[in-house]
């Protein structure tokens, strides 16, 4: 039946019943590095009373029994059921940490791992202790996110279990994909279930029924449809806050601005209930994020406009109505073009169900999907694992460092494309990390593998002493790990842009980021200074922490501590020594072309080079795809540096048309 929501026509399958019960499911976050915020409705109770309120508590003894009797336990439970916080405590209380033994718990993102490990840290720990001998139990939390390092850890832990029968593994997932994990880890090769080494357990959640509404026909503009649907819900539906999902920060800010105008117009009509419109995305300052949890009066309805960071990294009380645009951003790698970029793609069914479930946390809710039911049926069941859509150079580097020479035969849970593997091998060879026999070089390859960074950043850092600019390159590398350094408040965008210009330099974004960091340090890491200059204070503090971590590695590898004393050329040449594969030249068409295969690229509007005369040659950090392929973190270079610093890449090698590549560089 049609839902009474004006020009955007929705249809609810079936004509009776309370709707579809949605079990909350969590899917991979396109924007990682967001702050994890959890609303706690039991904050007034004692810690012990809070623990007993969690759904996982009633399964405590059963969980401990299964861990004792099976090598691997796969636990499925929705966000907030207590699996992440309680299971490690149950294990400690039951003696799994006695006699110096350790329970290790991994998380896919550092922000959620204050006292735990990230999955990447666990993999790096295996370099020192391949059998993880100090651990009695490893818990892979949020395993359903299937990040690169989660999948590496999964494959390695399966190998370790064959050597260590006493090691217990708990795989915690918020989605209904337990069978994949069980089939992968179960070492029972007979038909006798009594000999299974892996078992699954489901923790029942606390969700309420959610009615699902679909569009009767597709809409050409989901931005406008989102705004129209919010307004109609506000005009026709009862109490309850609204959560709308969009793909990125720019869309969120656009819809927030449109809804604020709509809210003012509605207020002028004399409507008693007002709208409070709030954005939510990973790069938003934490004080802005916290506004979504503030209580409002009965005369106000909150509208939270979010990216899919709200699918997995936050839990917001009071949401009754959900609007799902049907799209998300994912990082994807094209081995043919060797370009890794952020692309907008349709959500998976699991992700759509996860979004819908946000409306059923406190009471029954409604979800308005801005696509047809037929479109939903054609969506993939789950999001493609990162292992099958990423640049695999970091993966191969880690496996090689762990002594796994034949990476093509490594037992991946989801095997990556062969072409991606070959492309990664070529890049590592070009960086000097692998020799002609695809073995890790010493010392360079081993040192690159020790850095918790993209291999191109690692090579740049290791070369910085030779260029006499290790101080500057350390700061640049740290800043490149931070998302959204510049802050643009919705009501002060023009002022913020003017203030940001004082940091900009004609060479491009890398040196601009260096200027921001050095000014931050000069002003004693002042939060007040950051606020006045519209800069992400927490991001800059994080950059300082990352810089210290990287500095320790440079000291370990005896890279000289040197500064270029304000001379930009050594810094730029050093950047090229790591990022020579990401070079592009300006074309007469007005776009840039990659040297590798003539792929068309454009400078991102956020770059300081966007409004300037286009440099003839540039290097870039990454590519993002929207209406075009945009380069982010772009710096102007000299073409001669490419032949000087990477002759092996432009004069010899294994990729397609190397002769043509060299000709392009020389054709000035």
Contact 606, 501 (CB under 8 A): no
DSSP type of residue 549: H
Predicted local distance difference test score (pLDDT) of residue 15: 36
CA 103 → CA 16, 94, 220, 449, 633, distances in Å? 49, 12, 51, 26, 40
| pLDDT score for 231 | 95
Domains, the chain, with CATH or none: 2-13+207-386 (3.40.50.300), 47-203 (3.40.50.300), 451-668 (no CATH)
Q: What is the pLDDT of residue 667?
A: 54
- Check residue 115 and give its pLDDT: 43
Contacts of 254 (CB under 8 A, 6+ apart): 223
The pLDDT of residue 128:
86
The β-bridge partners of 339 are 334
- Cβ atoms 455, 433 nearer than 8 A: yes
Burial of 439 (0-12, 13-18, 19+ CB in 10 A): exposed
Dihedral-angle region of residue 201 (phi above 0 means left; psi in -120 to 50 means alpha; beta otherwise): beta
142-163 average pLDDT score: 90
Q: Which residue has the higher pLDDT, 492 or 309?
A: 492
Q: Which of 414-418, 437-441, 482-486, 503-507 has the lowest mean pLDDT?
A: 482-486
Say which residues have a Cβ less than 8 Å from residue 127's Cβ, sequence separation at least 6: 401, 402, 449, 450
Average pLDDT, whole number, for the chain? 85
Q: SS3 for 167? A: coil
Is residue 374 very low, low, confident or very high in pLDDT (cuts 50, 70, 90)? very high
Lowest mean pLDDT among 306-310, 345-349, 505-509, 514-518: 306-310
Please report which confidence band the pLDDT of residue 35 belongs to, taking 50, 70 and 90 as the band edges: very low
pLDDT given at position 109: 56
Q: Is pLDDT above 70 for 301?
A: yes
User: What pLDDT was estimated at residue 369?
Assistant: 97
Round to whole Å and give the CA distance between 444 and 451.
11
Question: Is 236 a residue whose pLDDT tops 90?
Answer: yes
Q: What is the dihedral of CA 370, 376, 381, 386, to 10 degrees?
A: -40
Name the more confident of 423 and 323. 323
Q: Indicate the length of the chain as a whole number.
A: 668
Q: Quick one: CA dihedral 9, 14, 16, 21, positive or negative?
A: negative
Q: What is the pLDDT of residue 610?
A: 92
Contact indicator for 58, 85 with CB cutoff of 8 Å? no
Q: Which residues pair with 75 in a beta bridge?
A: 172, 201
- pLDDT bin (cut points 50, 70, 90) of residue 358 is confident
> In this predicted model, what pLDDT tens digit does every residue of 554-592 receive, in sequence order?
999 999 999 999 999 999 999 999 999 999 999 999 999
What pLDDT shows up at residue 23?
A: 24
549 phi-psi bin (left φ>0, alpha ψ -120 to 50, beta other): alpha
Give 614: exposed, middle or buried? Use CB within 10 Å, 0-12, 13-18, 19+: middle
Residues 460-479: what's their mean pLDDT? Answer: 96
Alpha-carbon torsion (211, 217, 219, 220), positive or negative: positive
Closest by CA position to 460, among listed 560, 544, 572, 546: 572
**In terms of pTM, does the model score above 0.85?**
no
What's the pLDDT score for residue 3? 45
- Give the mean pLDDT of 376-399: 92
Span 43-81, pLDDT tens digits = 667 777 777 778 888 888 999 999 999 999 999 887 778
pLDDT above 90 (res 105): no
Average pLDDT over residues 99-110: 76
Higher pLDDT, 484 or 365: 365
Q: Higher-confidence residue: 363 or 283?
A: 363
């Amino acid at each position: 039946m049609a839902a009474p929501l004006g020009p955007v026509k929705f249809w609810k399958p079936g004509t009776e019943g309370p709707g579809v019960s949605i079990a909350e499911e969590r899917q991979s976050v396109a924007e990682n590095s967001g702050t994890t915020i959890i609303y706690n409705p039991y904050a007034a109770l004692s810690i012990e009373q809070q623990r007993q309120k969690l759904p996982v508590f009633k399964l405590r003894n059963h969980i401990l029994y299964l861990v004792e009797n099976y090598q691997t336990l796969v636990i499925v439970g929705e966000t907030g059921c207590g699996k992440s916080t309680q299971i490690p405590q149950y294990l400690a209380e039951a003696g799994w940490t006695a006699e110096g033994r350790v329970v290790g718990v991994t998380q896919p993102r550092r922000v959620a791992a204050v006292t735990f490990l990230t999955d990447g840290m666990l993999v790096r720990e295996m370099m020192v202790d391949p059998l993880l001998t100090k651990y009695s139990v490893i818990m892979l939390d949020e395993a359903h996110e299937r990040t690169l390092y989660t999948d590496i850890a999964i494959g390695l832990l399966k190998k370790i279990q064959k050597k260590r029968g006493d090691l217990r593994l708990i795989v915690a997932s918020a989605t209904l994909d337990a069978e994949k994990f069980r089939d992968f880890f179960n070492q029972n090769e007979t038909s006798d279930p009594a000999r299974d080494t892996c078992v699954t357990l489901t923790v029942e959640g606390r969700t309420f029924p959610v009615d699902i509404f679909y569009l009767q026909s597709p809409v050409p503009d989901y931005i406008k449809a989102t705004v129209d649907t919010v307004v109609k819900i506000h005009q026709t539906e009862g109490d309850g806050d609204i959560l709308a999902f969009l793909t990125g920060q720019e869309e969120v800010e656009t819809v927030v601005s449109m809804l604020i105008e709509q809210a003012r117009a509605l207020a002028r009509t004399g409507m008693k209930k007002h709208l409070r419109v709030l954005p939510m995305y990973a790069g938003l300052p934490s004080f802005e994020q916290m506004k979504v949890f503030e209580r409002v009066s009965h005369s106000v309805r909150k509208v939270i406009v979010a990216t899919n960071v709200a699918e997995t990294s936050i839990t917001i009380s009071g949401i009754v109505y959900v609007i799902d645009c049907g799209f998300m951003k994912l990082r994807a790698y094209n081995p043919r073009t060797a370009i890794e970029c952020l692309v907008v793609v349709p959500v998976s069914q699991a992700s759509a169900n996860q979004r819908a479930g946000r409306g059923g946390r406190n009471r029954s809710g409604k979800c308005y999907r801005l696509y047809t039911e037929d479109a939903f049926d054609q969506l993939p069941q789950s999001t493609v694992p990162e292992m099958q859509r990423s640049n695999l150079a970091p993966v191969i580097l880690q496996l090689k460092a762990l002594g796994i020479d034949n990476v093509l035969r490594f037992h991946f849970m989801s095997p990556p494309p062969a072409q991606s593997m070959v492309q990664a091998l070529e890049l590592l060879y070009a960086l000097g990390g692998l020799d002609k026999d695809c073995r890790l070089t010493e010392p360079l390859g081993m040192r690159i593998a020790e850095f918790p960074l993209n291999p191109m950043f690692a090579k740049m850092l290791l070369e910085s002493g030779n260029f006499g600019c290790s101080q500057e390159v350390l700061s640049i590398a740290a800043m490149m790990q931070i998302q959204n350094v510049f802050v643009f408040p919705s009501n002060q965008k023009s002022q913020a842009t003017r203030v940001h210009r004082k940091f900009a330099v004609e060479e491009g974004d890398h040196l601009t980021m260096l200027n921001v960091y050095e000014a931050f340090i000069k002003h004693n890491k002042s939060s007040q200074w950051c606020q006045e200059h519209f800069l992400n204070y927490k991001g800059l503090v994080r950059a300082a922490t990352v810089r210290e971590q990287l500095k320790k590695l440079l000291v370990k590898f005896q890279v000289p501590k040197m500064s270029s004393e304000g001379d930009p050329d050594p810094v730029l040449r050093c950047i090229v020594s790591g990022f020579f594969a990401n070079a592009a030249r300006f074309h007469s068409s007005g776009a840039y072309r990659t040297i590798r295969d003539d792929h068309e690229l454009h400078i991102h509007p956020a770059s300081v080079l966007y409004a300037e005369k286009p440099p003839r040659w540039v290097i870039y950090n990454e590519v993002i795809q929207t209406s075009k392929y945009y380069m982010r973190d772009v710096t102007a270079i000299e073409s001669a540096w490419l032949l000087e610093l990477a002759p092996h890449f432009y004069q010899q090698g294994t990729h397609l048309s190397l002769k043509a590549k060299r000709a392009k560089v020389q054709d000035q």
